[in-house]
Structure 1
Amino acid sequence: VLTGHRGLPSAKLFSNLDEMEEGDTFSIHVLDRTLTYQVDQIRIVEPREVEDLEIEEGKDYCTLLTCTPYGINSHRLLVRGYRIANAVSAQRIPADAVQIDIVIVVLAVAVVILLAGGILWFLVRRIYERKGGR
C-alpha cells in the first residue's frame, strides 16, 4: 500500500488518482528498479474498512490510497493493480511530478534579503553609535 496526498500546490503526488480507470497502468520507481502494475480494482471505502488492504498469498498487488472526496476527506480511494511486465515508457518519471511554485520561491528570497538587510543595517548602526557617531 502506498499513500499520498491530493491537491498540494507544490506536488502532484496523488492529485489525479481519481482519474484512473481499470486497465490503466502505473509504475513505481525504487532505486534502480521499476515495477509496473495494471489497475484491476477501484474502491471507495470508509477509513476503518481495511479488508481490501490485506495481503493475498500468491498475488503481487499494489494499492494506491488517498483521501476522497477532495477537500472533504471522509472516505478513502483505493486503486489496486496487479504486477505486469515493465513497459519501455515506464522507465521515465514525468517532469511535472514535483512542481515548484515560482511565486513562493520569489517571496522566500525576498524575505531572506529583507532579513539580511535589516540585520546588516542594525549592526552597522550599532557600530557607528559605539564609535561616538550619531
Structure 2
Amino acid sequence: MTGHRGLPQAAMFTDLDKVTVGDDIEIDVYGQTLVYRIIDSSVVLPTETALLRPQAGHDLISLVNCTPIGVNSHRIIVTAEPVLPTPADAGQSVDSIGFPWWALGLGLSATGCLWYVFYTRSQKPAARV
C-alpha cells in the first residue's frame, strides 16, 4: 500500500517514518477495520524491492513511501502482520481525516463557471433589426 507524505491538506503517510516495531495500524476496508502490528521498518533505495516480495505462509501488508520529504531518494517500507482477533476498539479513532467535501464543491463550482463562460461565448448574439 502506498501513500503520499508532506501534503499540507492531508495526513496520509506523513508520519510513516515515526512508527516503530510493535505499533498497531488500522486499515478500514468497506466498513471493516483490520488491525496490523508492525514487525519491520526499513529505509531502502528505490531499486531494493526484496522486502515487498510475498512470503509463503505469511499474511503481511507493506506500507511504502518516499523519503526524505522533498528529496524522495529512498523508500520507507513498513511491514505488518494481522492482529487476530481484531480488537473490539478498532476503528474508534477520533482523529481520522474525512473526505474533503470542500474540494468537491470547489471543483464542481469551477467546472460550472468554465462551462458558463465557454457556452455563452459560443452563442452568437441575435441579429438586430
Normalized against structure 1, the TM-score is what? 0.72
Whose helix fraction is larger, Structure 1's or Structure 2's? 1
Q: How big is each residue's C-alpha offset from its partner over 1:94-128, in whole Å with a ceiling of 9 and x where there is no partner?
A: 541544566x95587367436525744774x712x
Q: If you compute each CA radius of gyration, which structure gives the higher value, 1 or 2? A: 1
Matches within 5 A, 1:1-80: 2-80=1-79
2:90 is matched with: 90
Give the distance between the partners of 2:59 and 2:122, measured in 1 at CA: 63
- Residue 91 of structure 1 deviates from its aligned partner by 2.9
Gaps of 5+ in 1: none
Number of paired residues? 127
> Which has the larger displacement, 62-71 or 2-11?
2-11
* Residue identity opposite 1:87 in structure 2: P
- Residue 8 of structure 1 deviates from its aligned partner by 3.1
- Alignment RMSD (CA, Å): 3.0
- Residue 90 of structure 1 deviates from its aligned partner by 2.1
Give the distance between the partners of 2:53 and 2:108, measured in 1 at CA: 44
Normalized against structure 2, the TM-score is what? 0.75
| Percent of residue pairs bearing the same amino acid type | 29
Q: Counterpart of 1:23 in 2: which secondary structure?
A: coil
Give the distance between the partners of 1:32 and 1:119, measured in 2 at CA: 42
Cα pair 1:10 1:98 within 8 Å, conserved: no
Q: Counterpart of 2:116 in 1: which secondary structure?
A: helix
